[in-house]
A and B are shown apart, each in its own frame.
Chain A
Amino acid sequence: MCLRVSEEEVLGIVLEETNGSVDEKIICGPGLRRNGDDVVVCKSGVLRHKNPNLYWVDSQQRRYVPVKGESVIGIVTTKSGDVFKVDVGGSEQASLSYLAFEGATKRNRPNVQVGDLVYAQFLIANKDMEPELVCIDSSGRANGLGVFGAGGLLFKGSLGLVRRLLTPQNEILKDLEKLYPCELVLGMNGRLWVRAATVQKTLIVANLLESSENMSAQQRRTLFKRVADGNL
């Protein structure tokens, strides 16, 4: 495959195939589309490649589009009948059934109020149907999903920031661990929730995360050091 990797791609470019083997299968990630026999770029960003055959375009985006299997932070907006309507920041509100919580039955309803934060996973998310969330996994256990949020701060970042924070062994979280102990929930829809020992520390951690998006590693380390020394 003749693909330019780690170069900025601008739209409409057809990624050409050389005389590679016909049996070769490539997996097109976000930002790439199949157009008959060609693979076409449909978002602008950096083309990335992971062995053996995965290609995708890394783009900076702020608006979330629901994808099946992703865990997001939603805000409950209405209770109607047997279903909650949850705002996930997409083009439509997602629905969350009463029964999709651990240990919930028709008699034993979960304690969810309008305005609560829920950490849930998409069960159904495609462009044609209303998205559906669940707070249990396939075996019926909560596994970290559910209602949360007392005493913390919810704020919005870009989708790229959340993805960076979710990569294993990433530097931002490592630097943050040395700073204050805090609880962090990251939703793939660009929403972050933070709770630290005091309100001031919570605000400091929130501001640090927001600003670390646009900083280089060196600038970030200097800033964290300044905070650790108590000079901010």
Chain B
Amino acid sequence: MEVCSSDGFNVTLREFGCEQCLLSRPDGSSSFIQGDTSVLAAVYGPAEVKVSKEIYDRATLEVVIQTKVGLPSVKERSQEQCVRETCEASLLSSLHPRSSLTLILQVLHNDGSLLSCFLNAACMAFMDAGLPMSCLFCGVTCAIASDGQVITDPTATQEKESRALLTFAIDSTEQKVLMSSTKGSFSVHELQECIAISQMASEKIFQFYRESVQRRYSKTL
């Protein structure tokens, strides 16, 4: 468990694990593990696009989320939209007009903080595929327990017992919020507290990205 406390906030994140370039067919792939939650991401692109879906000045980004069991439902569609918005904000899609970028996310195990795990896996897969991006992004989930305490990177049981669940996508250059997805009721003060905590947690995640990429390229140096 990594623990970091500053300014009275207690930011604890579960243990991270990440692997890039593990699938042979996609242009980029990665696997991201947060505690027991594990997600596999694959990116194809820039590839051919159907004329009906092409955009004249940008790449068409498509996100597909596959759950472990069952067909995708409305919940997966809304998660796909959240991931898509974050990716559109950070990818330089104007460099590849009239082509398609496809991101496929497969849930291997869900033990809470699934949306932030999707975002982290997606970012690592884009880096692996060599797609041009203006900034990195990461996902952080906060759960507000019934007594008002904020838990970062909650497990599935902590999520169920919480009264509000907030997920933020944070960018790497200015720690701004790219996307937020919330469930439950919370006050404005609690929202700002969660954003501040997420920004602090994102620094640790970006440090982890750096180390993973360093490990990967250390062979070619």
Residues of B within 8 A of A12 (CB): 133-136, 171-173
Whether B130 lies near A43 (C-beta < 8 A) is yes
Query: How far apart are the CA atoms of A216 and B44 in the complex, in Å?
Result: 28
**Residues of B close to A40: CB separation below 8 A:** 134
Contact B46 A10 (CB under 8 A): no
Interface size on A, residues (CB 8 A): 28
Residues of A within 8 A of B127 (CB): 10-11, 44
A127:B97 contact, CB within 8 angstroms: yes
Q: Are A58 and B220 in contact (CB under 8 A)?
A: yes
Partner of A91, one of B49, B92, B133, B134: B49
A91 in contact with B47 given A43-B132, A61-B129, A62-B129 (CB within 8 Å): yes
The answer on a CB contact under 8 Å between A63 and B220 is no
Q: Are B132 and A63 in contact (CB under 8 A)?
A: no
Give the interface segment out of B61-69, B150-158, B185-193, B208-216. B208-216
Q: What's the nearest-Cβ distance from chain A to residue B88, in Å?
A: 16
Count A-B pairs with CB separation below 8 Å: 88
CA distance A11 to B220 in the complex (A): 19
Pair B96/A65 contact, Cβ less than 8 Å: yes
Taking the complex as formed, is A24 at the interface, i.e. its CB lies under 8 A from any CB of chain B?
no
Determine the residue in chain A with the shortest Cβ distance to B173. A12
Q: Which of B45, B96, B217 contacts A45 (CB 8 A)?
A: B217
Write out the residue numbers on chain A whose beta carbons fall within 8 Å of the beta carbon of B49: 91
Asked if B95 lies at the interface with its beta carbon under 8 angstroms from chain A, I say yes
Instruction: Give A6 to B217 CA distance when docked, in angstroms.
Output: 10
A128 contacts partner chain B, Cβ-Cβ < 8 Å: yes
Q: Which of A45-100 contact B (CB under 8 A)?
A: 45-46, 58-63, 65, 90-93
Contacting residues of chain A (81-124) with chain B, CB-CB under 8 angstroms? 90-93
A14 CB to nearest chain B CB (Å): 8
CB <8 Å contact, A63 and B47: yes
Interface presence of B116 (CB below 8 A): no
Q: Can you show 8 pairs from A to B with CB atoms below 8 A apart? A: A8-B213, A10-B206, A10-B210, A11-B133, A43-B133, A60-B21, A91-B100, A160-B220
Apart from A42-B132, A62-B28, 11 more pairs, CB < 8 Å: A6-B221, A8-B217, A43-B132, A45-B217, A62-B129, A63-B27, A90-B46, A91-B48, A91-B96, A91-B100, A93-B48
